[in-house]
Amino acid sequence: MRIIRDYQFVEPRDRGASAAIGNFDGVHLGHQSVIRLAREADSAAPLGVLTFEPHPRKFFAPNASPFRLMGQEARASRLAKLGVEKLYELNFNSAMAALTPEEFARRVLSQGLGLSHVVVGADFAFGKDRAGKASNLQQFGEQMGFGVTVAELVEAGSGQVSSTSIRAALSNGEPRKAAAQLGHWHRIEGKVIGGEQRGRELGFPTANMSIDGLHPPKFGVYAVLVEVRNGPHQGQYMGAASIGVRPMFGENHANLESFLFDFKGDLYGATLSVALVDYLRPEEKFDSLEALITQMDADCARARTILAAL
């Protein structure tokens, strides 16, 4: 998959795609449906996705609480797995935000990227002040020579699939509910960073990862599936993980600590993808280290049973 970040300097080989447009945070079932329609709309054209970095919400409200379900690299990895060939990850800045809907369609979609077809969701809004709607895009497409498909919103379970409802499920400690809308487990991806090595001292060595910039799931202990993406220990593992501030030790900066079952080795610097499967319990402060170890043994036993049944 090729990543293109400037619509004003596009090589000929990167033009002419049939592209789905949106933020694609989480790459949930609704996003997957839009991408599938883009493939079907022009099967002779490269399959593309047009998105923005930073997320427009982050641009307009830089001090807002973290809300993203996945980082930039994790999104690109997920899109590549779906067969996307051209990822137009355009810089969202003041100049982009100032484009009128007509200017966006002409300068970016038509002249800049030369798209053959675009697919958007029924709730799509674009251009300065989000003034452009899907119906406007259809009109611009007719004028400028690219096709437009407006996709119906996808429903799963109790309602429409959306990044907002997925965030709510994760905040409530319901990773399976989130997965039903995502079409895959919710994963936290990143490099293993140095920690205090308390887990090693307790007999549960953990791989520590930052969750900075991401929407924090409900703090507590989870049954997880872990993919080690690189290094000598590359592979798939089962495990238990804790997300939170480690109240037992007076910490206050949230992170993710994963204990991989039946694993021996050093994971520092490796890239991990940790899938949240089930929420086991909230964070607790125990009366003693012995009580903590007893609970961790019980957590791991329960996680093994859950994961073995998948």
The per-residue pLDDT for range 182-232, each reduced to its tens digit, is: 999 999 999 999 866 665 656 688 999 999 999 999 999 999 999 999 989
- The β-bridge partners of 2 are 86
Per the structure, the complete domain to which residue 151 belongs is given by 2-156
Length of the chain, please? 310
* 288 and 212 together in one domain: yes
Neighbours of 227 (CB within 10 A): 15
Contact 231, 263 (CB under 8 A): no
**Active-site entry in 257, 283, 284, 290:** 257
Q: Are residues 208 and 142 in the same domain?
A: no
Looking at the fold, whether 6 and 150 belong to one and the same domain comes out as yes
> 145 with 53, same domain?
yes
Strand 207-210 and strand 255-260: the pairing is: antiparallel
CA distance 147 to 152: 17
Predicted TM-score (pTM) of the model is 0.91
Token look-up 């307790």 returns 202
Residue 175 lies in a domain: no
Distance CA 20, CA 84 (A): 10
The residue ranges of the chain whose pLDDT is under 70 are 157-158, 195-203, 247-251
* Catalytic residue flag (residue 257): yes
Q: Same domain, yes or no, for 190 and 69? A: no
**What pLDDT shows up at residue 198?**
61
- CATH number, residue 131: 3.40.50.620
The pairing of beta strand 207-210 with beta strand 147-151: unpaired
What integer pLDDT is reported at residue 159 of this predicted model? 76
Q: Are residues 144 and 273 in the same domain?
A: no
Backbone angles phi, psi at 229, to 5 degrees: -80, -25
Q: Note whether 113 and 46 are same-domain residues.
A: yes
Write down the pLDDT at residue 160: 84
DSSP states of 104-115 as a string?
IIIIIIIIIS--
Total domains, the chain:
2
Position 61 in a domain: yes
Q: What is the CATH number of the domain that holds 192?
A: 2.40.30.30
Domain contains 115: yes
Q: For residues 123 and 100, give the distance between their C-alpha atoms in angstroms, rounded to a whole number.
A: 18
| Same domain assignment for residues 15 and 136 | yes
Same domain, 100 and 240: no
Are 136 and 18 contained in the same domain?
yes
